[in-house]
A and B are shown apart, each in its own frame.
Chain A
Amino acid sequence: MSFIFEVPEVGEGVVEIEISEWKVAVGDVVDVDQALCEITTDKASMDIPSPKRGRVVKLYGEPGDILGVHTPLVELELDTSAPAPAPKAEAPAPAAEKPAPAPAAKAEPAKAAPAPAPAPAPAAPAGPASDPASRGVTKATPAVRRHARELGVDVATVPGTGPKGRVSHADLEKAASAPAPAPATSSAHAAAPVASTAEDKRVPIRGIRRKIAQRMQAAKQTSPHFTYVEEIDFTELVRVRSALKPRAAAMGVKLTYIPFIAKAVSVAMRQFPEVNAVMDEAASELVVRGSHDFGFAVDTPNGLMVPVIRGVQNKSVLALAEEMGDLFARTRDGKATRTELSGSSFTLTSVGNIGGVLATPILNTPEVAILGINAIRKRAMVMDDDSIAVRHMAYLSPSFDHRIIDGAIAAKFIKVVKDLIEHPEVFLMELA
């Protein structure tokens, strides 16, 4: 008996997977729970175990191919003791009911002829890309097309699980809840390095890289953004943080500079609420967000992710540090939930860890601003009294959507942030 194993639901909101490597070949006999292949989703890579014992008859796809959830992955012949099965007439054709001679044989199943065994039931739908039914047109009814639009999902990219690859409302919901791929800075995160050989190699843009590519392109195309750079004297904050670090550590919290910077930004936003906003392109409206929900770009083994800390305006530096420690760790381990990875109103990205003087971040659209935080380095500075002192300096390089934020606003906003960071004692006045 033949059994078609479909791509299982490997995670909430995961609508497609990429085959990384087959661990079995056609003809192999596999046991229950034996790994069939390794796959990559936009979140993680994992092995897919076989649900049944059987002989592998067919593998659907090559490494690098993308398959929709619930599309065929592997065909197994379950009764491995039996010899290769001869095609047998399954499902008696309702020929007797037909007054006219003919059609039965003409009906659909004939197409499946080359398969070694008759497929059970109507063959499972193939992925949308390979579905000839659509010939390049995504099959979706008018109601589904409208729903897609409302969810902000491009219906053409949604794998349909309905008959002949038809996109259902459920397919859309899944696609819509897929994680928003992270923003990246233009300097960091080039495509995975290609093995250095004498020959050119073509690397398909797949999985999370494809998502990132789409998002970056969309951000650059829809939003004319500019980057503004200011240098900040961190010396005072370095001192304050060193003094507080052991106290935080005693409470099990790792205190970095990021919570201070986030807090400074949040305070500055009280004067410039339009920086904490997202664009509703369809309505040509700016949605100024009431809550300071900050996304933080985090480099993970699976690519760049943006976990979100909500309500920054209501949280202390210590609380932020604690929440960041926990959330960022879970993000790196691929354990952050969908909700924790979406819905930010402003993004911060630290870009100096590896090197470089400054980077120009690309917006995490539909947000209208992102803050690039560059490395703190000691530099010789000319002080007010013309003396030269060694100071801890860093550049902040925020990018703003110029449709909304003018240069003057950007400069004034960053001036407030700078003042707070350079004079950390002002935070005392912010205590509720």
Chain B
Amino acid sequence: MGRALSKGSLRNTRIEEIQMSDTHYQAIVIGAGPGGYPCGIRLAQLGVKTLVVDKEFWGGVCLNVGCIPSKALITAGKRFKQIKTADMMGINVTGDVSIDMGKLQEWKGGIVNKLTSGVGTLLDANGADRIMGTARLDGDTVVVSTEDGEKRFTADHIVIATGSRPIQIPGFEFKDAPVLDSTKALALEEVPGKLVVIGGGYIGLEMGMMFSKLGSEVTVVEMMDSVLPGFDKDAIKIIKRSLKKSGIDVLTKTKALGWEKADSGIVVNVENAKGAKAIEADYVLVTVGRFPNGENLGLETAGVEMDGRFIKTDNQRRTTNPKIFAIGDVACQPMLAHKATYEGELVAEIIGGHNRVYDARTVPAVVFTDPEIATAGMSEEEAKARGEIKVGKVPYAAVGRSLTTGETDGFFKVIGDAETKEILGVVVCGVNASDLISEAALAIEMHTELLDMGLTIHPHPTLGEGMMEAAKAALGEAIHIVNR
């Protein structure tokens, strides 16, 4: 994947000159992912002399081997399927519809390259220095191992934004070619004939559904009794239906034991209450979660303490060493890029002398399954545990625009406080849910009432009307469904 991302082409050469005379910075940011790079840009904007260090990519996992490339491939998978099913709209495709994986990867690489070089340009344009290398702390000093040897820097403030990595499980080592983590899976130059996905969480389902659309025969192996553990029950129902429709085999309450080479490809050995089973495959993709990159950073030399897997921080994301901050996946849940970005800017402003605190009410979450799931605020269960609630639920099929997309599976769910009518949580499951949820996040931050959303005129014909309708449904005032 991404040949264009070779370290040489993106390494900042200006750093050599700086090295000569000056090794002190007001702030050093370790990690240039969606937390670190905005942090570096904001610091530089505030006039703080800043160095950003990354061991492999500008833009981090998210831009290079995570969110962005996976969405490119998911879009391709969806487009491929739409072409094959276009006949329902009277579009007849004659001849072979096929996938050229090499060309698809090239297209994806171009997108990634554009975004990551943009990150470098922005850091430079704002006056932040950057260096490619692996950083660790040695007390107050940041030691960076680069291709040209070790360099040492001191700083008034250090921001640790080292992110997370896929968790490896016993019996499946990423160093073996047929065992894929998300990074390797997104770089495949071929569509696997048969793919086993271990872990039915959101990354596993996004990738599993994507490969299924591109033509793979997919089996999902999940330890728990359902896919997407922890998600909205109604959304899980929709996704289960979709998985079934696309012929993805889901084995729940099943443990993956290991894999071995077979005559053609591999077999993945799994076990559940019914007994052991060997599943034939070309690749096995392991997506059982991500682990924060808090080790091998020399944190102990700087008095930075851990809190379990994460670095211990306060509500300003300050660690137990007041000079040092930690943001993003390495600091706390939820491990989501947009939370890291918020924290990066927050910490930059604190270092820049502003009084700030993490006080966001909600971190919205989006899942790019088919259909998509997007949530903001409390889940129905959380809200119920807190007091009496009113829930409005409107199916996609009741929204005119949804019918015209040809994809009507899904719903809008708006949860409000029964007494105060304040909106507490929103779940959207359906086509383009990811683009619809921001309205809900704003509503929650603004302490909006159900009626505020219900009385805000939403343009017709759009999917967004479903959100307005669901808010009204919670009050028993919906027009396009029968109120209960």
Contacts and interface: CB of A to CB of B under 8 A. Distances in A.
Contacts of A99: 479
A282 B420 contact: no
Nearest to A150: B355
A252 interface: no
Interface string A96-139: 00011011001000000000000000000000000011110001
Given A100-B477, A103-B476, A282-B316, A132 B419 contact: yes
A402 interface: no
Interface residues of A, number: 25
Nearest to A283: B353
Contacts of A133: 420, 422, 447
Interface in A131-166: 132-135, 139-142, 145-146, 149-150, 152, 164, 166
Nearest to B350: A282
Nearest to B419: A132
A106 B420 contact: no
A284 B323 contact: yes
Contact of A284 (B322, B356, B357, B445): B322
Interface residues of B, number: 24
A369 to B, nearest CB: 21
B467 to A, nearest CB: 19
B459 interface: no
Interface string B422-458: 1000000000000000000000011100000000000
B445 A141 contact: yes
Contacts of A285: 353
Nearest to B346: A146
A139 B447 contact: yes
Contacts of B354: 150, 282
Nearest to A155: B359
A117 B234 CA distance: 46
Nearest to B357: A149
Contacts of A283: 350, 353
Contacts of A142: 359-360, 445-446
Contacts of A135: 386-387, 417, 419-420
A166 B356 contact: no
Given A135-B387, A149-B355, A282-B316, A166 B447 contact: yes
A403 B267 CA distance: 63
Contacts of B476: 102-103, 106
Contacts of A164: 420
Contacts of B359: 142, 145-146, 149
Nearest to A139: B447
Contacts of B447: 133, 139-141, 166
A145 B315 CA distance: 14
16 contacts: A102-B477, A103-B476, A133-B420, A133-B422, A133-B447, A135-B387, A135-B420, A140-B447, A141-B446, A141-B447, A142-B359, A146-B359, A164-B420, A166-B447, A283-B353, A284-B323
Interface of B: 316, 322-323, 350, 353-357, 359-360, 386-387, 417, 419-420, 422, 445-447, 475-477, 479
Interface of A: 99-100, 102-103, 106, 132-135, 139-142, 145-146, 149-150, 152, 164, 166, 280, 282-285
